[in-house]
Chain A
Amino acid sequence: MKQALAIPAALAAALWLTPALAQSPSHDGHGMSGMDMPGMKDSPAAEPSDAKPDAMQGMDHSGHTMTMDASPMHAMPMKSDGAIPQSPPPPAAQSGPAHAADAFYPDGEMAHAREMVTHEMGGLKTTVVMVDRLEAQTGKGGGSWAWEGALRTGGDIDRLWIKTEGEGELDGGIDDSEVQALWGHAIGPWFDLQAGVRQQFMPGPDRTQLSVGVEGLAPYMFDISAEAFVSTQGEFTAKIGAEIDQRLTQRLILQPRVEANLSAQDVPEIGLGAGVTSLQTGVRLRYEFRREFAPYVGVEWQKQFGRTADYTRADGGNADRVVALVGLRAWF
């Protein structure tokens, strides 16, 4: 356990994204450069008249912290008539009972209701089952099928995730599959840290792994996930994926997607070579009959690299192929 937590390169590689992605894009300091936002011309306050370059320059040069009082900004129209102190409440405000209603209603009743209202205003839990991909693929070397889905349940900050994915031959059984049970915790406005256990089922020996990763929405609306795994055999592997929804019409959505797998070492018994083991990149075009029900068609390039490819070929498999696919994205 101890040595497993001394996570080296693979995990670091997967997690390098965390701080960058969990933060606002603005921390590059240029978050809003190019201010001609759409619709701005409609603003009644924006009459093109006597623009004062001086004021603008003040902003240009004020460097990193153009705070309110250090810039011409405080000249902005505020209706506060003079300064009203933001002082703490007077002592009288702290007097009396914590909950005024306790004086009118029997003890237990208010406590119970208070618990309910506290839960109701922000503490609600939700459960969603997602089928991200359920698809048939055809290409050189025969047909196959693949799935990827998850169940998530919990509140806004902490959630339980059960994830599964896998693939198999259209006319045969399941080749590879995995299930993950993860605890997810929001580590920023857009990203969750996820940690737990992954169980892989493979033609060779199965693998049980610790899994740590991040998942969320990156700037420019990329859905990103990066996971690192360490198996009970001490092997390190990682997986990085990105996809983006391009809305062509209100219901027609084009989704480019890429996923790469990495391994820190050769593991011949499960057909893995060191380095980038495989890459899948493709594009799917789906139609949302409802948000929850969207069939799609697509094409994907599936390639393995280096020794991983050698293992596959030696096994009679296909290490480099392009497939056409048809599938369904759904959630409920």
Chain B
Amino acid sequence: MLNPTLHRRALLGGALAAGGGAAISALFPQWARAQTAHLPAGGADALTGEEIALSIARTPFTLGGRTGSATTVNGTLPGPLIRLREGQDVRLSVTNHLDVDSSIHWHGLLVPFQMDGVPGVTFPGIRPNETFRYGFPIRQSGTYWYHSHSGGQEGTGLIGPIVIDPAAGERVHADREMIVMLSDWSFMTPMEILRKLKAQPDYFNYQQQAWFEAPSGKPMSVADKLKWGRMRMSPSDIADVTGATYTYLVNGQGPDANWTGLFRPGERVRLRVINSSAMTIFNLRIPGLPLTVVAADGSDVKPVETDEIQIGVAETYDLIVTPDDRAYTLFAESVDRSGYARGTLAPRAGMTAPIPPLRKPPLLTMKDMGMGGMAGMAGMSGMDHAMNHGADGGMKMHGSMSMRDPANAPGVALTPGVDMIAPMPVDRTGDRGLGLDGVKHRVLVYTDLEAPEPRHDISPPTREIVVHLTGNMERYMWSFDGRRFSEIVEPIRLARDERVRFKLVNETMMTHPIHLHGFLFDLVNGKGDRLPKKHTVNVLPGGFVAFDLTADEPGDWAFHCHLLLHMMSGMFNVVTVRPLDGGAA
């Protein structure tokens, strides 16, 4: 066994040299620097044990020669690794040194609701110069993370990883592990980004279908321009906030700083990938290395090999890779392909591998507009085939094929916040993420995920709750069922221990990573008694996703889109589970 400390020091020197003078500031916790240690990942400053102290403050953050102000935990961005063991108790004292309220939410952890850390829903928040003591037992294992739930602070750096070691040991052997925390950084505050989007929703989109520029590689015909124009929408509306302002980070480090994880050739390396972005869905791949997915959102899945994963905001995936004696580029392209986060896996410090070019930005398709039902019909394959055979230039679409027909979504209030209703949404759990349809290699889809063992805790739901994901791109409004949380919506009410199915129907043209606090739900993906557990689910545009859960956690739980600015525009609600525990105090 190597001496981790020694090795780390040597490596740090190498990374400094490789960084081209871009000094790695003390802002990075050890786990986020180039990683060398054998199991467990972390470094000497990982926080362990039953008593953990965290301190939130503003800290200067330097990137690409420019310095801004970050919201940090214990002075670092990302925050320190919290490493716990299943079955232990933990108490976390969080002190707020900001001049505004703050909070920390333990993303994916099963905790008593009053410890969940959502101001105004589960606790009052942490006032300036106050300390809040969280305390709860650790009832699970896997890769999770934490972030602020106040004032957009997760978009300014208040994020950090949580790793929980299983009481019975890992199901899958690995020789080494590394944390790969993906995020997006802007020198513009989230509030200012939101203001710009409210003023001009395509503010950050420099990949539009212009007359003389087609970044997607397919110049639009006049007919297409007219079709999209008639709907008052744009096929290039893939990401609200883009590489025009974001730098995409691996473990807090920009592409040029080239975060490097070191391994010994032939080792099985476990990558704990966390998308802790505010607004960025990533396409993750390591050219030359097959990725074996062994856990999703912290829960083990039957190992499945793939080459690329679209990872929604707040999702986590654990991957096993077995690299040879060469360097590999860890490449996380933003979903709109306006930029990338990049790191390197290498046997020795200072090595690099080629950086793949960004692929052409995708365009939205008919399926993304909620017309997927057309293609899904028996014998309806080959839409444009059938279309072109239509007598007078194609079908006439009537009634419910319209783009804003209330009959297609009875639960939705057709407010000014709703610019479309998907006419025929389909189950897209088997679909690749946006823009990956044409990719030659394997791409992970939700139907690849399967619990490793048959589960006996899965029973059929007795009630279905349909939640429509709605929005208005032009006004930059986002909502559930047409209503923003600020309009004082009814919470979603569950009776304690009832088994319910949530069906999330995406009526918009964007992918929404929807997160329910307090539960690991069962993703309904056709795997019978082996449904995988997740805490966050990407709902593709024009599609729907269903998940089942047993409401065995009493209390109030936040339920929202994890795109920060969608949440802050109103795509947020509360799920209540009653009755509470007797007396409740």
Contacts and interface: CB of A to CB of B under 8 A. Distances in A.
B350 interface: no
Interface of A is mostly: loop
Interface string B393-406: 11111111111110
B387 interface: yes
Interface in B409-443: 416-420, 423-424, 426-427, 429, 431-432, 437-438
Interface string B363-380: 111110101111111111
Nearest to B475: A156
A41 interface: yes
A272 to B, nearest CB: 35
A256 interface: no
A5 interface: no
A66 B494 contact: no
Contact of A35 (B113, B387, B568): B387
Interface stretch (A203-211, A213-221, A298-306): A213-221
A103 B579 CA distance: 13
A97 B124 CA distance: 17
Contact of B230 (A25, A91, A103, A252): A25
A36 interface: yes
B224 interface: yes
B231 A31 contact: yes
B211 A34 contact: no
B208 A250 contact: yes
B423 A32 contact: yes
Nearest to A47: B381
Contacts of B203: 291
B525 interface: yes
Contact of B472 (A55, A91, A117, A189): A189
Contact of A64 (B399, B437, B460, B567): B399
B223 A124 contact: no
Nearest to A117: B120
A55 B463 contact: no
Contacts, number: 395
| Most chain B CB inside 10 Å of its own CB: which residue of A53, A60, A91 | A60
B366 A35 contact: yes
Interface stretch (B88-96, B176-184, B300-308, B477-485): B477-485
Given A45-B372, A60-B395, A250 B213 contact: yes
B493 interface: yes
B129 to A, nearest CB: 16
A173 interface: no
User: On chain B, which size bracket covers the interface?
Assistant: 35 or more
A117 B121 contact: yes
Contacts of A114: 120-121
A65 B484 CA distance: 29
Interface in A152-173: 156-157
Given A64-B399, A217-B232, A249-B212, A45 B376 contact: yes
Nearest to B120: A117
Nearest to A89: B493
A93 B576 contact: yes
Contacts of B371: 32, 35, 37
A218 B231 CA distance: 9
Contacts of A186: 416, 475
B125 interface: yes
A265 interface: no
24 contacts: A26-B404, A31-B230, A33-B395, A39-B362, A44-B431, A52-B377, A65-B400, A86-B465, A89-B495, A93-B493, A94-B493, A100-B576, A100-B580, A113-B101, A116-B101, A116-B119, A120-B568, A121-B484, A121-B560, A122-B572, A128-B198, A156-B475, A156-B484, A331-B200
